[in-house]
Structures are given as C-alpha cells and as structure tokens.
C-alpha cells in the first residue's frame, strides 16, 4: 500500500522524498458528524450553512473533538437533502460557496481540527449534467449509468427489467420516456446509479476525490458503499421470507445481487491508494477513509483488507436495543474485536443521521453509550447532539420531508422516517434553540430545547456534556491510548470494561461499570471479580447523570453500589503511593471546574 513507503519525485532538478506525515493521528481520535442543515444557521434562512459551522468550531476544541465529518454540502436539488448530487465540485448555495468552505478548513486547521467530507459515489442527481447527457444518448455519458430494456405485458403495461426493490421502497427502476429505457436507482428515482463497470466513471470519481484533497480535506466518509456495484445479468433477487414485510419495502427481498460485489472492494482499494499517494507526494498528514456499509460482518471486515482505516462498526446500532442484556453487549464488542484484523483499529458508532438518536433508543442510558464509545479501544464517532443527550423530535406526516418516509404512507411513515433525528442543534434556550433567527426552521426544533441545550449543560454541575468532556479528556491518557482491554460480566447484569496499562511497576486501570437491571441496584466487588487488585486505590472519575457521585472521591472497591440503569467510570492504581501526574491533573481540573460552577 502507498502508506507503507515513500514516493520519490523530481522537483526543480533535485531529488525529493515525499512522505506521509502524522501517520495514525486518527487511531484514538473522536470524530464528530455534522449534519450541516441542522448544525448552525449563519444567514438566518432557517437552514444550517458553512459559515454557521465555522462560527461554532470552538465547540469542538471545548469538547476535545479531533475531527469533523460533514454530511454532503455539494450542489443538489435536495430531494434526499444533499445525497442527490448535481455537481461534485461545487457547494450548494444553501450552504455557501467554495470560499466559505476554504475559510472553514483554514480555521479548522488553526484549531487543530481535521475535516472529513461525505463522499457519495453510488449515484448522482437526475439533474447532474452526466445524467442529462446520458438521457440524450450523448457519448461517453450514455454508458455512465445503468440502463436496460424492460418488457411489456399483454395489456401493454411496461414492466421493469427485474424485481429489484429500492432502499426507499418501490421498484428500483424508472422508465425514461426520452431514452426509451429503464434506469436503475438503489435509492430515490431522482438518484440514478452510476455504472462502475465503466472505467470512465471510475476515473471521474477519482478526479472528484483529487479535487477535494487539493482543497485541504483530511479524508472521506464513503456513503452506501455496499450498493456501489450490482450484477450485470440482472438476476431476480430471492424473497427474504421476513414475516410481516410489505412487498414494496426493501427488506422483502434478499439483496444478494445488488450488494457487496467483488468490484466494489477493488474500487475502494484504488481510492485508498489515491489518498495515500496524495499524502505521500504532498508531504501531508495521513488521509482517512471511512466506509458506511450496512452489511454482514465478513463483508464489513473486508474493507480493512482494502486499506480502509475506519469501516464503520454499526453493531451498537443494528444489533443492540433498549432490551439488550449485558451479555448481548459483550457479544457485540467481542465479535467485532475478535474478527478485526490484528493490524486493524476498532471504531464505535452509536448514532448517525439515518438512525434514531442514542438518547431515544436507550432511555436513561445515553451516557453509558458515550462511555462505551470513549473507553473501548479505538475510534469514537459522535453524531451531532449526542454530546448533550438530544432526543428525537416527533414530526407529523404533513411535515415529513424524508423521501424514505414519503414513499410510504401515513400509517407506516414513522417507522421509515429519519426526520426526527435530524432536528436542529440545541445551542441555548433562545429562539429556535439558538440555531437560527428565522421565523421557521427547515425542520422543527425539539420543544425540549428550553431545558436541554448546550449552554445550560455547560452551566449545570452535572450534565451529559460534562460527562462527555470528562471522557474525551480521559482518552488522551496512555491507559486508553495504549492499554489492554477486557470485557466481563459481573453479577449477571453488570457489564465491566477494563483498560489496563502497566509501566514502571505501576498498574493503571480505567474501569467502566454498567448496570443493565432497570429496577434493581447492584453491589460490585472489583477484587472478587479480579477487576482490581486489593491493594489498588480506586476513585470515581465520572458517572451517568442520574447517578450523582463525587468526582475524585476514593471508594471501597469491594462494595461499589451501582443503582439501576447507572454507569460509572473508575480509576484504579496499584504499585505506587500516588496517582500518576497526568491523570491527577485531569481529575484536579474537573474538580476545580465543579467548584467554580457552584460558586457562580
């Protein structure tokens, strides 16, 4: 791979060695997804924009977030809110322009924040120049998309080429009168799929990546990557036989011919090589590739083999629910870590713009999910609003905008809608939660913003944001950056995640305890469970907001009282009389902050 060796090139007649700098910067970084429509509205039109993001970059410094991933900001008709792209090299006016983007990246660089862009390669908008020329049969664009002839039944009704179903429900084919053929779309009919068997299409998308790299981006999150390629012979997909599924809905079929094609992995590897070669030749920091793949574990793990640093781990989204037990959580954690390549780095995704918010999926347990993401080894990914415990907003059928929901009906839309988890960020208790000065916002603000907002949580002695800050600070410590990990079940319903680092005769541990009993407290003996040594000093670092503890207080490791639904992070040290310097300073800073807030 390009990241493993230097590239030699000639410059001004002398031999210069190109080299990727700051390799591995991402390995223990907190990545933060910004949904730009809902983050911050600078110009007061009710929709978030680039200047709004730039105006709030200091928030990421305050929260110790190292990289931001920005959902699509490209020119788009906004049928799927930016995931239907009409020009891959321009900023949509609703968000600003290229100058605004360059100002954002420049300020982010000054603040030490990496910028990752959403890359949407599976399809374009039907308003993209390529598709418009493809419809007209103009070469070479006539072969840029997946066009096929269909059939006609006895009564003259046109029928699509096969039985494939769109992710957004209904046929995955739409007939175009002008061209007289059907085109394929995995998503909305306004999002025609590109034809990746065409090498010209592959070259076009590489050029898109190169364009944004030249503007200083630090990597890409690749959208919907399993859908990139489908079989050429258009074989009908078999029924999934899933009970109760509507025949028009995506789960009705088993998608063995429209996902996880072998060519997809070859293309991803070439994109990763391109990123490595760019960093090599420009002497810049390592560029990151993140992949969104809702697929099975073996196919997900293959992205590591392609050089992808962060193939998104959706186990906590797809396999864990509010009914899951401590054993379920342990299995989800162990399965990923046990199947990951030895050279791979784990990642933990708790939420995103496509899924219900963490605080809504796991009532009274939002902090525990943040704790897991931060304390387990590897990369943590935060969706905007999770740091303050934002919840889903109810959206009526009349106000629903998500095409995935609009393609259903008033009885089924709520199951399919992603609108509730895309409501504006709640900055403060002023109009529209401080998100916008507009009379209306593109989607309603959650009515709980008066009590749940960032400003209030900064002022509160105990809050989701204070827990979040404590955890991001702790991730800087050696025990979390380099320490071994272990996951245990204690008393049947308590999950324990233990990170251990031994140096100079000192054993340092970070211990996360989560009580999965929703009604009964548990007493945990860390020594009997071989989690902490009897001679170790154990103290409280932070806890879930419902479990009010004293930061820095030393506790008896043999009888830790853990209330129902509670989670707590403990520090344990043995082999030395005093706490090591860096963590002492972290705890001291947190304690001082608490006292300062109380005195205000």
| 509 lies in the same domain as 460 | no
| 116 lies in the same domain as 263 | yes
Identify whether 170 is part of a domain.
yes
Identify whether 474 is part of a domain.
no
Enclosing domain of residue 506? 482-599
Identify whether 505 is part of a domain.
yes
| 435 lies in the same domain as 514 | no
| 319 lies in the same domain as 352 | yes
Identify whether 473 is part of a domain.
no
* CA distances for 110 relative to 55, 107, 113, 318, 469, angstroms: 13, 5, 8, 37, 21
**pLDDT for res 392:** 95
Which of these is catalytic: 80, 84, 92, 223? 223
| 141 lies in the same domain as 107 | no
pLDDT interval class at 3 (50, 70, 90): very low
Length of the chain: 600
| 390 lies in the same domain as 456 | yes
**pLDDT for res 7:** 32
Q: What share of the chain is helix, strand, coil (3-state, %, to 5)?
A: 30, 20, 50
Is residue 189 annotated as a catalytic residue, yes or no? no
114-159 per-position pLDDT tens digit: 999 999 999 999 999 999 999 999 999 999 999 999 999 999 999 9
**pLDDT for res 536:** 93
The three-class DSSP label of residue 101 is: helix
85-123 per-position pLDDT tens digit: 999 999 999 999 999 999 999 999 999 999 999 999 999
| 168 lies in the same domain as 218 | no
- Tell me, what CATH number does 392's domain have? 3.20.20.80
Of 468, 502, 531, the last residue of a domain is 468
| 390 lies in the same domain as 298 | yes
| 92 lies in the same domain as 238 | yes
| 272 lies in the same domain as 351 | yes
Q: Count the domains in the chain.
A: 3
- Tell me, what CATH number does 495's domain have? 2.60.40.1180
Identify whether 191 is part of a domain.
no
Of 417, 442, 468, the last residue of a domain is 468
| 331 lies in the same domain as 430 | yes
**pLDDT for res 576:** 58
Alpha helix positions (H), 191-314: 199-214, 262-282, 297-305
Identify whether 193 is part of a domain.
no
Is residue 223 annotated as a catalytic residue, yes or no? yes
pLDDT interval class at 468 (50, 70, 90): very high
Q: Which of 346, 352, 297 is closest to 499 using CA atoms?
A: 346
| 425 lies in the same domain as 546 | no
Which of these is catalytic: 84, 193, 280, 292? 292
Identify whether 87 is part of a domain.
yes
Name 280's Cβ contacts closer than 8 Å, sequence gap at least 6: 2, 3, 6, 7, 18, 19, 20
Q: Find the distance separating the first CA and the last CA of the chain, reported in whole Å.
A: 55
Residue 577 has pLDDT above 60, yes or no: no
Mean pLDDT of 230-235: 98
- Tell me, what CATH number does 169's domain have? 3.90.400.10
Residue 305 has pLDDT above 80, yes or no: yes
**Sheet containing strand 347-349, strands side by side:** 310-311, 288-291, 219-222, 114-119, 67-70, 30-34, 379-383, 347-349
Identify whether 550 is part of a domain.
yes
Q: Using CA atoms, how far apart are residues 573 and 556, in angstroms rounded to an integer? A: 13
| Phi/psi at 109 (5° precision) | -65, -40
Mean pLDDT of 495-513: 97
Neighbours of 364 (CB within 10 A): 15
Alpha helix positions (H), 215-342: 262-282, 297-305, 315-318, 326-339
Of 434, 468, 502, the last residue of a domain is 468
Kindly state the percentage of the chain with pLDDT values over 90.
Answer: 88
């Amino acid at each position: 791979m390009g990241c493993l060796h230097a590239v030699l090139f000639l410059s001004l007649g002398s031999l210069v060695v190109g080299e990727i700098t700051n390799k591995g910067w991402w390995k223990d970084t907190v990545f933060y997804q910004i949904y730009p429509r809902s983050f911050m509205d600078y110009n007061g039109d009710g929709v978030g924009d680039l200047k709004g993001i730039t105006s709030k970059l200091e928030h990421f410094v305050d929260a110790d977030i190292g990289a931001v991933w920005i959902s699509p900001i490209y020119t788009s008709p906004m049928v799927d809110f930016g995931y239907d792209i009409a020009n891959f090299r321009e900023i949509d006016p609703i968000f600003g322009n290229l100058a605004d983007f360059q100002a954002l990246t420049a300020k982010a660089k000054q603040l030490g924040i990496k910028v990752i862009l959403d890359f949407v390669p599976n399809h374009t908008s039907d308003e993209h120049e390529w598709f418009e020329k493809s419809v007209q049969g103009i070469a070479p664009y006539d072969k840029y998309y997946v066009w096929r002839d269909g059939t006609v039944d006895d009564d003259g009704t046109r029928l699509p080429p096969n039985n494939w179903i769109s992710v957004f429900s209904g046929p995955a084919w739409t007939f175009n009168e002008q061209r007289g053929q059907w085109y394929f779309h995995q998503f909305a009919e306004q999002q025609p799929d590109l034809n990746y068997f065409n090498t010209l299409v592959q070259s076009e998308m590489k050029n898109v990546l190169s364009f944004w790299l030249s503007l200083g981006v630090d990597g890409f999150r690749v959208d919907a990557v399993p859908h990139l390629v489908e079989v050429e012979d258009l074989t009908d997909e078999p029924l999934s036989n899933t009970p109760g599924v509507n025949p028009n809905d995506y789960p009705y079929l088993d998608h063995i011919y429209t996902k996880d094609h072998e060519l997809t992995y070859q293309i991803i590897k070439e994109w990763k090589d391109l990123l490595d070669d760019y960093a090599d030749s420009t002497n810049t920091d390592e560029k990151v590739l993140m992949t969104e793949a809702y697929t099975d574990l073996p196919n997900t793990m293959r992205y590591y083999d392609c050089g992808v640093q962060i193939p998104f781990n959706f186990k906590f989204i797809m396999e864990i629910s509010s009914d899951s037990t401590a054993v379920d959580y342990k299995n989800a954690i162990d399965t990923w870590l046990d199947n990951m390549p030895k050279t791979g780095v784990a990642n933990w995704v708790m939420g995103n713009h496509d899924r219900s918010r963490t605080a809504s999926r796991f009532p009274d347990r939002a902090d525990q999910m943040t704790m897991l993401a931060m304390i387990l080894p590897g990369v943590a990914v935060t969706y905007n609003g999770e740091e303050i415990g934002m919840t889903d907003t109810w959206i009526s059928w009349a106000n629903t905008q998500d095409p995935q929901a609009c393609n259903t009906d008033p009885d089924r839309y709520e199951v399919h809608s992603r609108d509730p988890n895309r409501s504006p960020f709640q900055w403060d208790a002023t109009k529209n939660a401080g998100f916008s000065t507009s009379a209306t916002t593109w989607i309603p603000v959650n009515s709980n913003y008066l009590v749940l907002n960032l400003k209030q949580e900064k002022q509160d002695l105990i809050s989701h944001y204070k827990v979040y800050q404590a955890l991001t600070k702790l991730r800087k410590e050696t025990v979390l950056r380099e320490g071994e990990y272990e996951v245990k079940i204690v008393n049947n319903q308590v999950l324990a995640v233990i990170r251990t680092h031994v140096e100079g005769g000192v054993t340092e541990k970070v211990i996360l305890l989560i009580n999965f009993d929703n009604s009964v407290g548990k007493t945990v003996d860390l020594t009997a469970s071989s989690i902490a040594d009897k001679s170790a000093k154990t103290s409280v670092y932070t806890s879930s907001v419902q479990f009010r503890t004293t930061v820095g207080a030393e506790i008896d490791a043999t009888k830790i009282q853990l209330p129902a639904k509670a989670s707590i992070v403990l520090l344990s040290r043995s082999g030395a009389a005093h706490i090591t310097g860096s963590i002492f300073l972290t705890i001291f800073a947190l304690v001082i902050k608490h006292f300062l807030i109380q005195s205000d």
